[in-house]
Amino acid sequence: MKTLANILWLLFAGIWLFVGYVFAAVVMSLLIITIPFAIQSLKLAMFVIWPFGRTIVDRPGASAAASGCANVIWFIFGGWYIAIIHVVTGLLLCIPIITIPFAVQNFKLAFLALAPFGKEIVSNEEAQRRRGMYQAAAIGAGSTPWPAAPPPPGTQYPAAPAVPPALLPPRGNDISF
């Protein structure tokens, strides 16, 4: 099913978005100082051409300050423009009923286009594994999730498996496709 969705995505929106991101990367590569932005544009180009079955997550070890500064510069010099392109493409894909799921994906990509630094592309399975590791570590650290009903008095909680902090991803939401 993912392959069929990716092929349809490629025909309806993926190829055009891919060309736009690659063009932006070529323009950004002209100056040495903007090469990190060209790399982000190429990363997004590789993602928009075949997005189903992969997820954008927060990159472990990414500096919040450096990613934040780079995202501000990205937004000022082109992120808003790329996000507008995704919104317009999404609106056009809302016209035929069959392409509404692709329009929703474009709206999600618009948010990613606003701030791509500090993100990483992983498979959906890897994202689930990381979420499980994070939840296991959060339970092991003493913070328990809210139970649906209070347990009876005297209930013993099982010990959570120990996960080294170096393997834990930072907190944050991911964007699933």
pLDDT score, position 177: 46
pLDDT band at 92 (very low <50, low <70, confident <90, very high): very high
pTM comes to 0.68
Answer yes or no: is pLDDT of 67 > 90.
Answer: no
pLDDT score, position 151: 55
Q: Given strand 175-176, what is the order of strands in its sheet?
A: 119-123, 54-58, 175-176
Give me the amino acid identity at 135.
Answer: Q
Q: How far is CA 176 from CA 39, 55, 107, 126, in A?
A: 21, 5, 12, 12
Q: Where are the alpha helices (DSSP H) in the chain?
A: 2-9, 15-28, 35-48, 64-74, 80-93, 100-114, 124-140
The segment with the largest mean pLDDT, out of 87-101, 127-141, 156-170, is: 87-101
Give me the amino acid identity at 89.
Answer: T
Closest CA to 109 of 162, 52, 28, 148: 52
Digit-coded pLDDT (tens) for 12-44: 888 988 998 999 899 989 988 889 899 989 999
Q: What is the mean pLDDT of the chain?
A: 79
pLDDT score, position 139: 67
